[in-house]
Amino acid sequence: MKIAVLATGVALALTALNPVNATNQHPQNGFHLHSPDVESDGQIDAAFEFDGFGCSGQNRSPQLVWENAPANARSFAISVHDPDAPTGSGWWHWRVVNIPANTTSLPANAGAEGGANLPDGSIQLRNDYGYKGWGGMCPPAGASAHRYTFTVHALDVESLDLPDDASPALAGFMIHQHEISRAGFMATYAREE
């Protein structure tokens, strides 16, 4: 009995840590997220690496495309998370909210600071590097490959009421309060020593 309870607790904890899990990557309604720039379960190209913290990539966000979103979605949010970052809570690389409901993709480099490449009304939130925009991959050099989860959240509101300095945790709370479905994929990245 204790083993079953412990196993259930571990499964719940892993689900909480990983924004995309096997049960929601490809829901039955066909809601699906993919990228022509990043292959699901593949290795991420160095162009998407951060430029700073010892990393020297181009810090460009990949193109993202979603299909078969729920008809009642009133907006979308995007998140990119590294659950393997050595922080105890992972690392939030990108959060975008208030993406209009008629949007089905974001172009490459949509995460540039200032948001000029995003659909009107979309808002980038602070990432764990401390600024609003895409913060590319930058795992410790020589470490095992990190997993990166890319998620699109279909929401039941046109916009989230968030302060300008919203933390990734607060943004996550509000996204999950209004989420009606999600789709996503995972890819990996590692740096040589």
Tell me the pLDDT band of 18, cut-offs 50, 70 and 90.
very low
Global pTM exceeds 0.95: no
Q: How confident is the model at residue 168 (pLDDT cuts 50, 70, 90)?
A: confident
- Give 25's DSSP letter: S
What is the structure's pLDDT at 132?
Answer: 95
* Residues paired with 106 in a beta bridge: 64
In which domain, by residue range, is 103 found? 2-189
CB neighbour class for 121 (10 Å; exposed up to 12, middle 13-18, buried from 19): middle
73: domain CATH number?
Answer: 3.90.280.10
Provide CB contacts within 8 A for 26, sequence distance 6+. Answer: 32, 183
As a whole number, mean pLDDT of residues 175-185 equals: 97
Q: Mean of the pLDDT values across residues 152-168?
A: 94
Report how far residue 91's alpha carbon sits from residue 180's, in angstroms, rounded to the nearest whole number.
24
Q: Could you read off the pLDDT of 113-156 as tens digits, one per residue?
A: 999 999 999 999 999 999 999 999 999 998 899 999 999 999 99
- The count of domains in the chain is 1
